[in-house]
Amino acid sequence: MMIIKSTKLMLIGAATFLMLGSMAAGEQEKGFRSLFNGKNLDGWDGNPEIWSVKDGVITGKSSGPDQMKYNQFLIWRGGEVKNFEFRAKMKIIGENSGIQYRSKELPSVGNWAVGGYQCDVHVNAPYHAMFYEERGRGIIAQNGQGTVTDPEGTRWLTDRHDTVRAEFGQWNEYTIIAKGNHIIHKLNGKKTVEFHDFDKKGRSLKGVLAFQISRGKAMTVKVKDARLKALPDGGVTDFKNFAIPSDAQVIEKKKPTPKKKTKPRPKKKLAQVGPAIGGNKATPVANITRPEGFEVELLYSVPGVEQGSWVNLCNDDKGRIYASDQYGALYRFTPPAPGKTLKASDVKKLPLDIRAINGMLFAFDALYVAVNDYERKMESGLYRITDSNKDGELDKVERLRGMTARGDHGVHAIVLTPDKKGLYLICGNNVDPTKAADSSPVKPLWDDDHLLKRMPDGRGHNRDRLAPGGIIYRVDPDGKNFEVFANGFRNIYDAGLNRNGDLFTYDADMEYDFNTPWYRPTRVNHVLSGGEYGWRNGAGKYPEFYYDNLPATLNIGPGSPTGTTFGYGAKFPAKYQEAFYVLDWSWGKIYAVHLKPEGASYTATKEEFVTGGPLPVTDAIIHPDGSMYFAIGGRRVQSGLYRVTYKGKESTASVQSQPEKIALHELRRSIEAFHGKADSKAIAAVWSHLSHQDRSIRSAARTALEHQPVSQWKSKALAESNASAQLEALLALARVEAAQKAPATRDAICLALLKHDYGKLSPEDRLAYARLVQIILNRFGDPAQGTLDLIAAKLDASYPADSFEENWLLTETLAYLQHPNTAAKGMALIKAAPSQEPQMEYARSLRFLKTGWSSALRKQQLEWFLKAANYNGGASFTKFIEFIRNDSLATFSEAEKKEHAELIARKPVRKSAIELSGEMFNGRTPTMWKLEDLSEAAQNGMKGRDFARGKTMFAATACYACHRFGNAGGMTGPDLTGAGGRYSPHDLLDQIINPSKEINEQFAPIIVTRKNGETLSGVVVNLSGDNVTINTDLSDPNQRVNVDRKTVESIEPSKVSMMPPNLLMMLTKEEILDLLAYVLSGGDKNHRAFKK
């Protein structure tokens, strides 16, 4: 067999290349060189029976499976490739080909055999430009995925993005970018996969470049415009400096796809809990804080290799506790006596065909369990376990309802319903909705309801998950009848009933959204019948002021919600018996939430009950012995079991509280009785409550209306004269009739809205009005242009408004309507906004606006993007800014692009949050203020303050970088919105000047000391296996370090606050007092502190 002669390519000088084919001048400037001369295969080595040059194109042609015994390759002989960018255009006729890179020749297999990294060229969409390892690890990342392989070799799905489509049989351009252990593939300029490879044994950092022709059916491969650019050496990221996202999912190891004929490889075992080495052990009690009088005992450090990582606890009627391994079996033990601990022999593994339990409940003579199996060894869903032979041991496992779930956001807790006749099943947003009965309180009328084009998560997380989000189902004991009780959650893990029979849950935030306007903190929700709670993907999350969703009872802050329980039965002081305990896994907190009835719902406050660092709490229960038991673990981190008891002086007598009879609660329940059924009495019973002053009553009434025949109330809704009642009724009408998209209904609703004087509506009704306009336009499409003009004129007359919330809605709606005044007014709002969140929201709304732009406004818009490049936020923040900028640039005319070309091309100058915020202080001399310098003025000088200056100082001192204030600011420090209820002027001043004097336990840092003597200080924000992730700079949520706990000597609480000192040194005394007044007023310009 003849071999094509190889030719070495030579680089002559720093700027002159030996050109082997045509290349555009622009590409020469970028440093690309062509690898194909367009004439012959000089420089390439392959089977001459297969490879040739035809019509100036590299052509590979096979006749069928008998021609080759294995996949063969055309190998480039110009040297090995290391860090590079490669581009080539390819066309295939047949099933698949591929581009090998950083690969190895395999002479033991045969001539021209290659194994290693491959950019797949395949006709099936999931395989378009995917990452495949030929004769190695198989599929690494499919089209639309971002993946990470950790040092153990476990592969994680870390993000999803839109799959890239292409027409095969046509020319498509493939791009490969390899920098160290970071790989990106592109198809026709769009990213298909992104991969980080930390598997030192499995990865490759250099190797040959080649084109594949597959053994199998006859096919043709054509290649042209192959060019290569060498990139600088280096770029290998250490795993300790890389944080796998908390919501990443382990990808099940797959057999090699049929298209690749390779030898079977043994299935790799997923990572397990590591041995208790160094800091990799259950958190010592000395590192755990609790209220005075309470004691915490570490009862058991779970041997992870044998018993896994515990995520769920449950009592039985014999006083025994059941515990489940997140990835494994079910265990049972009897709690030890006071002062004693458990031994491994005390913990019994139950011989049941069940695994991956995330929720448990003993009810109806059975143990109900919720299975959420990441590894898909067992179908996720609702199961029942019973004692079939009455010998006192559970032995029979029944699947009541299989459900499709993935990752952490799956099938979770089970709670007994208030009437004790059914179950609540708690499900996160990665559970596909299951078939539900028509009697469901939630009618399936949900939609994402985005007026502007959806902006999905910047990292691609869950971009395929749309409404309804996470669901709480109401289920009968046999699991036959599922009803949707409430929806719109992100990742609810548990729930609990209070004495009044009201259901509460603790929902997750989205950490990638930090410091964006759509960030929603972890939140305690009072779960109401038929309730919509507003989770949507990416930038689409509903703010609490949207009247088509229900607000949180209590916003807590960043975290990872896990278990919940009420304190009923605990031998604790009275307020702790009545508390609702919610667990935060990543920040290591158990909060005691104190609920208070208000209106038809509740308000709440929180206190840190048990805290530690790290303390990945997963579940808590109140045992019949009066103690609280809680577990740490999850995601294969070291697990432990703890007991909390009260030894203080307060009484622990049982609170004999009866369900309260609260008038508005009773009214709400009477309305909820109409949910899920048609009733001739319903319309008359609920109509007057559509305008009730209580939001929960209005929502319940509107939900009840949606379940009644629309023909019986449509005309009444259109004719209603009370604005509040009509806005609720028209929302119901829009939701019920949207499926038909009837123009007559849309026009009738618009006509009804146009009869109202928008400017004279109450602030709450104005928000509802603007939101309803958005829903109508989204669900029904646009009415006639004349109607749109009337709506726009009505809204523009009140724009800008006094509140950020109303300006959010008006900017978005008027930009959609392309109203010519919106550009000037919107950019003025951006300029006046004190923090990045409102600026970002207005910019997002303006990104599709094409009208009303002057040259000066376009310049202002582009300058804002340069400024915004310095803003910090969660992992998706920079991508969101990029999305907004790209969409905005797409609205520029060719003339505008030419005029502003220099500004469009300009790179931002990087500045820190404090540098960016404090530019107004340039030229000032600092003053090192002490508490005694300002204390008297803080006590006596808080009248006649300047609101505008106080607001300016809050932004200028970078308070927004870490602290939430109203609807703006970060979440890595305490929320200051309610500071006026917690601090006097003197105390707040003391906190600012002496930040380490008293550290808020929710944000208390830790000090990690490694065995090599290195120390780190920060806040624990994530855990995975043996690794703990620490945020070392609270002004930048992405400043994270990964630490292997096996290399740690100690982890201890820090006595030094993460809040920097001397934040006031550039302010004058009067500016400081104005700042204090602004914070303590909650941002209320009508507060008494500003009265002249």
Spatial separation of the C-alpha atoms in residues 536 and 542, rounded to whole Å: 7
The yes-or-no verdict on residue 854 having pLDDT over 70 is yes
Query: Is 722 within 8 Å of 691 (Cβ atoms)?
Result: yes
Query: Is 676 within 8 Å of 474 (Cβ atoms)?
Result: no
Domain positions in the chain: 11-250, 285-646, 670-779, 784-910, 920-1090
Q: What residue type is 527 in one-letter code?
A: V
The mean of the pLDDT values for the chain is: 89
pLDDT tens-place string over residues 777-806: 999 999 999 999 999 999 999 999 999 999
Tell which residue, 914, 949, 898, has the closest CA to residue 1068. 949
User: What pLDDT shows up at residue 14?
Assistant: 29
Confidence bin at 910 (pLDDT 50/70/90): confident
With the CA atoms of 774, 516, 595 and 421 taken in that order, what torsion angle do they form, in degrees rounded to the nearest 10?
Answer: 60
Contacts of 453 (CB under 8 A, 6+ apart): 848, 887
Which of the 8 DSSP states describes residue 410? Answer: S
User: What pLDDT shows up at residue 11?
Assistant: 29
User: What pLDDT shows up at residue 24?
Assistant: 39
Please give the order of strands across the beta sheet that includes 617-622: 294-301, 640-646, 628-632, 617-622
Global pTM value:
0.76
Of 395-404, 435-444, 924-933, 1039-1048, the poorest mean pLDDT is in: 1039-1048
CATH assignment of 920-1090? 2.30.30.100
Query: Is 161 within 8 Å of 144 (Cβ atoms)?
Result: yes
User: What pLDDT shows up at residue 1043?
Assistant: 80
Classified as helix, coil or strand, 992 is helix
Classified as helix, coil or strand, 527 is strand
User: What pLDDT shows up at residue 1018?
Assistant: 78
Spatial separation of the C-alpha atoms in residues 728 and 698, rounded to whole Å: 7
Question: Which CA distances in Å does 1015 have to 285, 381, 1061?
Answer: 21, 44, 21
Confidence bin at 1024 (pLDDT 50/70/90): low
pLDDT tens-place string over residues 940-998: 888 899 998 988 888 888 787 788 787 677 767 777 877 777 778 888 888 888 887 77
The yes-or-no verdict on residue 328 having pLDDT over 90 is yes
Q: Please report where in the chains the tokens 């820190």 appear, as a residue.
A: 912
Spatial separation of the C-alpha atoms in residues 587 and 453, rounded to whole Å: 34
User: What pLDDT shows up at residue 639?
Assistant: 95
The yes-or-no verdict on residue 260 having pLDDT over 70 is no
Confidence bin at 1063 (pLDDT 50/70/90): confident
The yes-or-no verdict on residue 22 having pLDDT over 50 is no
The yes-or-no verdict on residue 467 having pLDDT over 50 is yes
Backbone phi, then psi, for 1091, in 5-degree steps? -75, 130
User: What pLDDT shows up at residue 561?
Assistant: 97
Query: Is 130 within 8 Å of 141 (Cβ atoms)?
Result: yes
CATH assignment of 11-250? 2.60.120.560
3-class secondary structure per residue, 56-103: CEEEEEECCCCCCCCCEEEEECCCCECCEEEEEEEEEECCEEEEEEEE
Give me the mean pLDDT over the 35-64 stretch.
95
The yes-or-no verdict on residue 729 having pLDDT over 90 is yes
CATH assignment of 285-646? 2.120.10.30
User: What pLDDT shows up at residue 274?
Assistant: 56
